[in-house]
Amino acid sequence: MLGGEAGVGVVAQVPHLQAPTVDYGAIAPVLIVLGAACLSVLVEAFVARSARWSSQVALTLLTLGAAGAALGVHLYSFAADGRNVVTLAGTISVDGPALFLWGTLLALGLAAVLLIADRSVEPGGAFSADAAVRPGTAADRAQAEGAVRTAETVMQTEVFPLFLFSLGGMMVFLAANDLLTMFVALEVLSLPLYLMCGLARRRRLLAQEAAVKYFLLGAFSSAFFLYGVALLYGYAGSVSLARIAEASAGSNRPDMLLFCGLALLMVGLLFKGSVGPFHTWTPDVYQGAATPVTAFMAACTKVAAFGAILRVLTVAFEGTRWEWRGLLWAVAIASMVIGAVLGLTQTDVKRMIAYSSVAHAGFLLVGAIALTAQGLSGTMFYLLAYGFTTLAAFGVVTLVRNADGEATHLSQWAGLAKRSPLTAAVFAFLLFALAGIPLTSGFTGKFAVFSAALADGMAPLVVIALVASAVAAFFYLRVVVLMYFSEPAIDGPTVSVPGAFTTAAITLGVVVTLLLGVVPTFALNWAALGAFGS
């Protein structure tokens, strides 16, 4: 009879549960970040408001340092024996790519949290002092001005626990060895991000609109992801990536479930990586969110999403690559074309970098679908390089301000080099890196990804990617020309002198961008250290 056996299984006594073995050393970085996130909630609850900012900043920086140290300790033993740790009953795989991307996430998270914590560029901080005040009222204007640093105008610090939860979710997301863990991690990383988008101090209607849009579309894409998981479970009888690979190897099961499941799963993953044509939320959310949050999103979410894409494609779907590869070719081309062409028409600098991120997602996908060791290390190197460049670029965006906050319209950036040569030079350098000019990390990253794709026989795709790079280079260079060869606007913006935190974040981004362009060998070797284990 149909379902007879399953019925008996439910009624029968639950078998004695074996506690899964946990390799605490390997997953210590994740445990530290998530544990500190819980502590951070308690700080919000019990520390007086005047002391919260300093406690939260200290706690967050300490956490990132401790997680980095724990990662370093495990990396030391990993470098000696190269052993991939699969722990927590096979749900988390701490392997070479996971370790590299965890390190990347922690480093990018450090730079992002420096931008988030800054209270000097925007007096009182970039985040709302009282999120319950209705936008447009007198109370809202008072908290937006924030010039007088009273208890009412200093930023709320909920953004720190949200940041830590999101970062912890990202770390689990890219190390998840089965699809259910991956889904839970997806939610853990997404839900805090939705909230963080709506916390901006200025232009709060825009920020709240961005948060709602991101939430609705994100919930929709999570549903796609979950539906894909369900179909793949129906196909393979398991959500484990390795089991799915085994099931698809030489079986006569109907492929329909497998490929429908993969397609739906990829929609969810590509959405998070803001790969076109699943990118429509990107410009609005990047523009509306407070710029430090945008920097965090642009850098870290991309690392997490592409880490997961690489893992899913390599571990679970390598055997069937010839069936699905054509479709992802099309997605990569669409993403590069959409990013490069629509980027040309943008007049807002944050939207322009958003479209640039869509184009970069296309380049990343070119490397990700190569599914070779070279493609894996190239894509991971690209993530590291792109993350620091885009983070520093958003850091510079926070500095160019007028009375209403950030002056993001490109016309206001005209002649910036005459007002502030250093800011213009730094931004021009970062734009060169985004365009992929030699001696910047952008060039090395593109070279690594495109040569991996060429070696894997994807010459036509590489040609399209090169053309897209050239088109995209035009709109980066247009901004450089605007900054250096235009007359400054009469009522143009002023460039704030950044405090220590923002200076540190931008300096970190610029130095990494330069180092990865000039001496990339160390990072490339590290990226090539290991393959996925399951």
Partner 1 sequence: MLQPYVPLVLLLLLAGGFAVFSIVAAPHIGPRRYNRAKLDAYECGIEPSPQPVAGAGRMPVAYYLTAMLFILFDIEMVFLYPFAVAADSLGIFGLVEIVLFIVTLGFAYAYVWRRGGLDWN
Q: Which residues bind partner 1 (CB under 8 A)?
A: 1-2, 13-19, 38, 41-42, 44-46
* Inter-CA distances, 288 with 345, 400, 422, 476, 529, Å: 18, 16, 27, 21, 39
| Shortest distance (Å) from residue 249 CB to partner 1 | 24
| Shortest distance (Å) from residue 22 CB to partner 1 | 11
Nearer to partner 1, 24 or 46 (CB): 46
Q: Which has the closest alpha carbon to 385: 306, 323, 497? A: 306
Nearer to partner 1, 42 or 344 (CB): 42
Nearer to partner 1, 252 or 521 (CB): 252
Nearer to partner 1, 46 or 322 (CB): 46
| Shortest distance (Å) from residue 166 CB to partner 1 | 16
Burial zone of 150 (CB within 10 Å; 0-12 exposed, 13-18 middle, 19+ buried): exposed
Question: How far is residue 81's CA from residue 24's CA, in Å, rounded to a whole number?
Answer: 18
For tokens 């945008």, the residue is 294
| Shortest distance (Å) from residue 206 CB to partner 1 | 21
Dihedral sign of CA atoms 174, 175, 180, 184 in order: negative
Residue 82 CB coordination number (10 Å): 13
| Shortest distance (Å) from residue 246 CB to partner 1 | 24
| Shortest distance (Å) from residue 42 CB to partner 1 | 6
Q: Which letter does DSSP use for residue 316 in this model?
A: I
Nearer to partner 1, 212 or 529 (CB): 212
Nearer to partner 1, 19 or 80 (CB): 19
**Pair 171, 177: CB distance under 8 Å:** no
Nearer to partner 1, 19 or 490 (CB): 19
Q: Which letter does DSSP use for residue 82 in this model?
A: -
Mark out the alpha helices in 47-95 (DSSP H runs): 49-81
Nearer to partner 1, 1 or 138 (CB): 1
| Shortest distance (Å) from residue 132 CB to partner 1 | 8
Per DSSP, the chain holds a count of helices (H) and strands (E) of 23, 5
Q: Which letter does DSSP use for residue 532 in this model?
A: -
| Shortest distance (Å) from residue 133 CB to partner 1 | 13
Contacts of 85 (CB under 8 A, 6+ apart): 23, 26, 93, 94, 95, 533
| Shortest distance (Å) from residue 43 CB to partner 1 | 10
Q: Which has the closest alpha carbon to 353: 430, 429, 438? A: 430
Mark out the alpha helices in 237-311 (DSSP H runs): 241-248, 255-272, 281-288, 291-296, 302-311
Question: How far is residue 316's CA from residue 337's CA, in Å, rounded to a whole number?
Answer: 29
What does the CA dihedral 502, 414, 481, 507 come to, rounded to 10 degrees?
-10
| Shortest distance (Å) from residue 31 CB to partner 1 | 12
Nearer to partner 1, 13 or 521 (CB): 13
Q: Peptide bond preceding 460: is omega within 30 degrees of 0, i.e. cis? A: no
| Shortest distance (Å) from residue 139 CB to partner 1 | 16
Nearer to partner 1, 192 or 276 (CB): 192
CA 229 to chain centre: 22
* Inter-CA distances, 235 with 143, 213, 260, 355, Å: 55, 33, 10, 37
| Shortest distance (Å) from residue 255 CB to partner 1 | 18
Question: How far is residue 404's CA from residue 59's CA, in Å, rounded to a whole number?
Answer: 32
**Pair 29, 67: CB distance under 8 Å:** yes
| Shortest distance (Å) from residue 41 CB to partner 1 | 5
Q: Which has the closest alpha carbon to 117: 125, 106, 109, 128? A: 125
- Phi and psi at 436, nearest 5°, equal 90, 35
Nearer to partner 1, 20 or 438 (CB): 20
Nearer to partner 1, 9 or 15 (CB): 15
**Pair 217, 298: CB distance under 8 Å:** no
Nearer to partner 1, 38 or 463 (CB): 38
